[in-house]
């Protein structure tokens, strides 16, 4: 297909594109036409007709690539030789790949809880306070910055210069003010992974805060007033009233950030490029597929990522249903 297109002249390609668009329009018109015809009889059949285009797109854009990727992961680097599960074995056997798995584990375990905790504490603290909107927008601002932008900002924060030279990194300048030696934050594994995680928390805490704050405001005032009449302390109020009331939102926030962490790529790519043992599954998948020339192993990593994400997605959807049901 690709090669065939390359052979065409420019005008030929334009024609092909117009034809494609026309064919698409005809198909849609046909579906809509049939739908209006059948509509009089109503019911499930009409629904199925409307679902058809979505199903088709899912098939082409999701199911087919997934199957292809799974198939590719069972072949060697050149794509010629069937090697069974060897690619998967090498993920769990080579020391390099085990470091990648360890880092991904750290990301998924640490980031959601810390980001959610920070967001939750902040939401409770500013709830009903003066200047709440302004305080909230402050912590929400990093959400507006792209991952790459945030990574560049933090790369400068961690920047190192030798003790005798003027520091250009904020964190090292602070260390120097306190009479400490400047540090190379991004080199020492596994601490460097935590320094990268800070960037993600910085971005995601605002997201957690927004959702949780809205959820706190939705707690019926009868409940909180009743609790106050019973004489609860602030701690008890949080433990027995606020937290149970917003539990579904907390879970949704936790799982959403966890999925984001499984897929994290931009931060690693921009700040270390995967050097110094900071690579994670998504970054390694890219490196193996597109720089190391081993698309087989890359596909296996992609499938692994897919398998890891599925349970969290299912749990997330269930919780969303539960919170909608409330």
Partner 1 sequence: MGITTTRRIKVASAAAAGLALVLTGCSSGGSSGSSSASSSADCSAYSQYGDLSGKTVTVYAGIVAPEDAAYIESFKPFEQCTGAKVDYTADKNFETQILVQAQSGNAPDLAIVPQPGLLKQLVATKAAKAAPAAVAANVDKWWGADWKSYGTVDGTFYAAPSGASVKSLVWYNPQKFKEAGYTVPTTLDEMAALTKKIADSGQVPWCAGISSGEATGWPITDWMEDFMLRIGGPKVYDQWVNHDIAFNSAVPTEALDGVGAYLKNPAYVNAGFGGVESIATTTFQDAGLGIPTGDCSMMRMASFYSSNFPTDGSVTVSKDGNAFAFYLPGQKADDHPVLGGGEFYLAFADRPEVQAFQTFLSTDTWANLKAKASSSITKGGWITANKGLDIANLVNPIDQLSAGILQDPNTVFRFDGSDMMPAAVGSDSFWKQSTNWITGQSTKDTLDKIEASWPKS
- Site residues (vs partner 1, CB under 8 A): 1-3, 5-7, 10, 13, 16-17, 76-78, 81, 94, 96, 160-163, 165, 184, 186-187, 269, 272-277, 287-288, 291-294
**Closer Cβ to partner 1, 36 or 81, answer by number:** 81
In the complex, the smallest distance separating the C-beta of residue 79 from partner 1, rounded to whole angstroms, is: 12
**Closer Cβ to partner 1, 213 or 289, answer by number:** 289
- Alpha carbons 251 and 159: distance in angstroms, whole number: 36
**Closer Cβ to partner 1, 54 or 162, answer by number:** 162
String of DSSP letters for 93-144: HSHHHHHHHHHHHHHHHHHHHHHHHHHHHHHHHHTT-TTHHHHHHHHHGGGG
Helix (H, G, I), strand (E, B) or coil at 306: helix
**Closer Cβ to partner 1, 270 or 319, answer by number:** 270
**Closer Cβ to partner 1, 80 or 233, answer by number:** 80
Buried b (16+ CB within 10 A) or exposed e, 247-265: ebbbbbbbbbbbbbbbbbb
**Closer Cβ to partner 1, 84 or 325, answer by number:** 84
In the complex, the smallest distance separating the C-beta of residue 64 from partner 1, rounded to whole angstroms, is: 13
**Closer Cβ to partner 1, 248 or 298, answer by number:** 298
In the complex, the smallest distance separating the C-beta of residue 144 from partner 1, rounded to whole angstroms, is: 25
Length of the chain: 326
Rg, the chain, Cα only: 26
- What is the token pair recorded at 22? 């026309």
**Closer Cβ to partner 1, 179 or 220, answer by number:** 179
In the complex, the smallest distance separating the C-beta of residue 130 from partner 1, rounded to whole angstroms, is: 44
String of DSSP letters for 43-84: SHHHHHHHHHHHHHHHIIIIIHHHHHHHHHTTB-TTS-SB-T
In the complex, the smallest distance separating the C-beta of residue 202 from partner 1, rounded to whole angstroms, is: 21
In the complex, the smallest distance separating the C-beta of residue 269 from partner 1, rounded to whole angstroms, is: 7
In the complex, the smallest distance separating the C-beta of residue 187 from partner 1, rounded to whole angstroms, is: 5
Q: Where would I find the H helices in the chain?
A: 2-7, 10-39, 44-58, 64-72, 86-93, 95-126, 132-140, 147-158, 170-177, 191-217, 221-229, 234-236, 243-262, 266-271, 281-286, 295-325
DSSP assignment, residue 288?
A: I
Give the count of beta carbons closer than 10 Å to the beta carbon of residue 325: 7
**Closer Cβ to partner 1, 2 or 44, answer by number:** 2
In the complex, the smallest distance separating the C-beta of residue 162 from partner 1, rounded to whole angstroms, is: 4
Nearest to 219 by CA among 232, 205, 238: 238
- What is the token pair recorded at 94? 């080579």
Cis check for the bond before 172: say yes or no (omega within 30 of 0).
Answer: no
Contact criterion met (CB below 8 Å) for 161 and 172: yes
In the complex, the smallest distance separating the C-beta of residue 52 from partner 1, rounded to whole angstroms, is: 23
């Amino acid at each position: 297909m690709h090669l065939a297109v390359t052979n065409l002249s420019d005008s030929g390609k334009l024609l092909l594109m117009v034809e494609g668009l026309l064919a698409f329009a005809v198909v849609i018109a046909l579906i809509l036409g049939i739908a209006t015809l059948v509509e009089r009889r109503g019911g499930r059949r009409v629904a199925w007709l409307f679902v058809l285009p979505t199903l088709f797109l899912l098939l082409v854009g999701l199911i087919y690539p997934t199957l292809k990727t799974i198939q590719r992961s069972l072949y060697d680097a050149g794509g010629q030789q069937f090697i069974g599960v060897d690619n998967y074995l090498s993920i769990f056997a080579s020391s390099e790949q085990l470091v990648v798995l360890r880092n991904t584990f750290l990301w998924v375990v640490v980031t959601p809880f810390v980001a959610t905790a920070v967001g939750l504490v902040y939401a409770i603290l500013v709830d009903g306070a003066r200047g709440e909107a302004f305080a909230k927008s402050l912590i929400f601002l990093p959400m507006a910055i792209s991952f790459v932008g945030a990574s560049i900002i933090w790369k400068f924060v961690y920047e190192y210069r030798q003790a005798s030279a003027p520091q250009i990194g904020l964190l090292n300048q602070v260390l120097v003010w306190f009479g400490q030696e400047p540090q190379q934050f991004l080199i020492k594994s596994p601490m460097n992974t935590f320094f990268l995680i800070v960037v993600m928390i910085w971005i995601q805490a605002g997201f957690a805060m927004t959702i949780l704050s809205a959820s706190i405001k939705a707690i019926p005032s009868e409940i909180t007033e009743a609790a106050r009449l019973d004489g609860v302390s602030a701690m008890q109020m949080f433990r027995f009233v606020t937290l149970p009331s917003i539990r579904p939102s907390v879970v949704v926030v936790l799982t959403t950030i966890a999925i984001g962490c499984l897929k994290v790529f931009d931060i690693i790519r921009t700040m270390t490029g995967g050097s110094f043992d900071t690579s994670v599954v998504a970054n390694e998948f890219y490196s193996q597929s597109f720089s190391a020339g081993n698309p087989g192993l890359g596909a296996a990593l992609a499938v692994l990522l897919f398998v890891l994400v599925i349970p969290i997605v299912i749990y997330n959807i269930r919780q969303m249903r539960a919170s909608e049901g409330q």
